[in-house]
Amino acid sequence: MSESSLLSINDLKTYFFTAEGVVKAVDRVHLEINKEEVLGLVGESGCGKSTLALSIMRLIRVPGKIVGGEIWFEGEDLLRKSEGKMRAIRGGKISMVFQNPTSSMNPVYTVGSQIAEAIKLHQDVQKRQIKEKVVEILHKVGIPDPSKRMKDYPHEYSGGMCQRAMTAMALSCNPKLLIADEPTTNLDVTIQAQILDLMRALRKDFGASILLIGHNLGVINELCDKVAVMYAGKVIEYCDITTIFKEPKHPYTQALLESIPRLDVAKERLRIIPGTVPRLINPPTGCRFHPRCEYAMAVCSEQEPTPVKIGRGHTVACFLYTSKG
Amino acid sequence: MSETILEVTNLKKHFPIRGGLLLRQVAAIHAVDDVSFDIKREETLGLVGESGCGKTTLGRTILRLIKADEGKVSYMGRDLLKLNAKEMRKLRLEMAMIFQDPYSSLNPRMTVADIISEPIDIHGLAKGNEKKRRIIELVKRVGLAPFHMYRYPHEFSGGEKQRIGIARALAGNPKLLVADEPVSSLDVSVRAQILNLLKDLQEEFGLTYLYISHDLSAVKHMSDRVAVMYVGKLMELAPAKDIYKNPLHPYTEALLSAIPVPGRKTRKKRIILKGSVPTPIDPPPGCRFNPRCPYKQPICGKEDPEFIEVEKGHFVACHLRK
């Protein structure tokens, strides 16, 4: 692990043991986030993005279990920490913004008191100062008239304001790592632009690292330095943000990029990825993308490709790029 | 291509809000407020806007799934809003809708064959073997296999369900299809399949689409012309090429600049709108966009701008463009 690394995930496996079988939601994933870096995690629904995020927070619930691997954060393995120590980290050094802002707030408490709770738990602040701190932080995320609006209940906020308040809560304790799970998915584009602007500013002001999870490649492009593409529980490609759009290597990444309608490029027809995302209870053997892949070879259904380095900071898990191919 | 198939004039739909002891009407949601446009035969008109702006209500009012308050919807010269139930039922054959949520718009207790045959039965289009042949043909056309017709909706993925919804919509040989966010609940890699299917069907059957969506990139891909809606009103209507290259309304401009584009780092300066979409219950006076508009003039808060043609085929409702 290098000096600059903040979070490093090694061979992580998170499985769900259901009546129908074992769902390998996250299977042998390696990832690294450096200090003050924004990593985008892209993938379609059900590919294990959110499970990966919850694994970092150790919030996986039964029937799910982290069955193997290491998650190194500031030189310590989070998976070996006691529940009490983990609780201090959640919301403190690592905090999270969820997809659905209106439902991840408690409707029976005011927005202000919910933010105050986070501050009380993690920081040594005197009672009198807590209120000032809440006002200050709401002001920072652009809530108008914060000393009045902090007394409002979540239902009195619009979707965009709720997301701002959630972000405020997540940032209230100056986290080292912010995990944002589809922070703009349910928002309108003009509100999305506001939230993205906010995140960009916060990154600069707070110097935090961000793990941004999403399926909208436009949003990812806006904020991220590096990007990891997930498919059916595996990270299949990892590189910096300009490379992914210029030279995507994995057939899935290539097809995904060509299948989205673009504002800047006119296309008569969209590229189609045949079939659907596999169910993880019984994923295809070998490379999990091979049944949908146009370059599939015999080896693809037999062996699992291991990630190989093909350029500076660019790894891809595909047999097309192993030494013999 | 130039023949007008549908003409909407001054369409209005206000939903009353009742309150108080006697349940008097205390306010109204101005869901669709004085909207006029037309759709040409075999074209796709894209209708974009943010959530709650009245896109869906507009689509449904046109098909008379919601009763309009005022205005005219003229379909090939006949005013749909004046037809009686029997006449309307006949015309329903020529119009169909594809719904946003394929999970809830298919009856879970019916097989695919039952779902697709419903419009055929209601209108008495075919019976017995002929009906079966027709269903198989439809199922195949949307990319499913004939054996799928005896299955139930829960056995299908989201994309396949949407294909079933499209097959149902095609069952009556419609001319006009209203597609309300047909791909927004689907996975990214499946969206392209459905969008391509819709385009192929349009070419094959000469369909006319009203394509409702909040996804401006998909609308650009699908549409010949695009209409932009904001709080119950149309703000701009123009050929797709023009509106994306040269938006004339400040709202359209802001909307377009807000979309993050993959793969482009040097982006145009972004216009960040302050605040959020006003509620349609009590829309702001004058131009509805004026509280958020970066180019606001005194007149904007007083007078409602007219929806006028400023360039050929390019309509806009803005005081700045007179």
Which helix or strand (DSSP H or E) is residue A87 part of?
helix A83-89
Rounded CA separation B214/B51 (Å): 7
In contact, B47 and B210? CB cutoff 8 Å: yes
Rounded CA separation A305/A321 (Å): 10
Q: Buried b vs exposed e over A190-199: b needs ≥16 C-beta within 10 Å? A: bbbbbbbebb
CB distance A261–B270 less than 8 Å?
Answer: no
> What are the tens digits of pLDDT across the range B163-183?
999 999 999 999 999 999 999
- The pTM assigned to this predicted structure is 0.86
Residues of chain B neighbouring A262 (CB-CB closer than 8 A):
217, 221, 261-262
Q: Buried b vs exposed e over B224-236: b needs ≥16 C-beta within 10 Å? A: bbbbbbbbbbbbb
Rounded CA separation B250/B231 (Å): 15
Tokens found for residue A100: 């659905």
Q: Is A271 on the interface with B (CB under 8 A)?
A: yes
Q: Which of A189, A196, A259 sits opposite B188 (nearest CB)?
A: A259
> What are the tens digits of pLDDT across the range B229-277?
999 999 999 999 999 999 999 999 999 988 888 776 555 567 888 777 7
Rounded CA separation B200/B139 (Å): 15
Q: Is A256 on the interface with B (CB under 8 A)?
A: yes
Question: ipTM of this model?
Answer: 0.79
Q: What is the three-state SS of B243-272?
A: HHHCCCCHHHHHHHHHCCCCCCCCCCCCCC
> What are the tens digits of pLDDT across the range B42-64?
999 999 998 888 999 999 999 99
In contact, B262 and A245? CB cutoff 8 Å: yes
In contact, B255 and B56? CB cutoff 8 Å: no
Which helix or strand (DSSP H or E) is residue A300 part of?
helix A298-302
Digit-by-digit pLDDT tens for chain A (325 residues) are 566 899 999 999 999 999 988 999 999 999 999 998 999 999 888 889 999 999 999 999 989 999 999 999 998 999 999 999 999 999 889 999 988 777 888 999 999 999 999 888 888 888 889 999 999 888 888 888 889 999 999 988 888 888 888 888 888 888 899 999 988 877 788 888 888 888 888 788 888 899 999 888 888 988 999 999 999 999 999 999 999 999 999 999 999 988 888 887 777 788 888 888 888 888 899 999 999 999 999 999 999 999 999 988 899 999 999 865 4
Rounded CA separation B96/B171 (Å): 9
Q: Is A151 on the interface with B (CB under 8 A)?
A: no
Structure letter (DSSP) for residue A62: T
Q: Which of A222, A271, A276 sits opposite B190 (nearest CB)?
A: A276
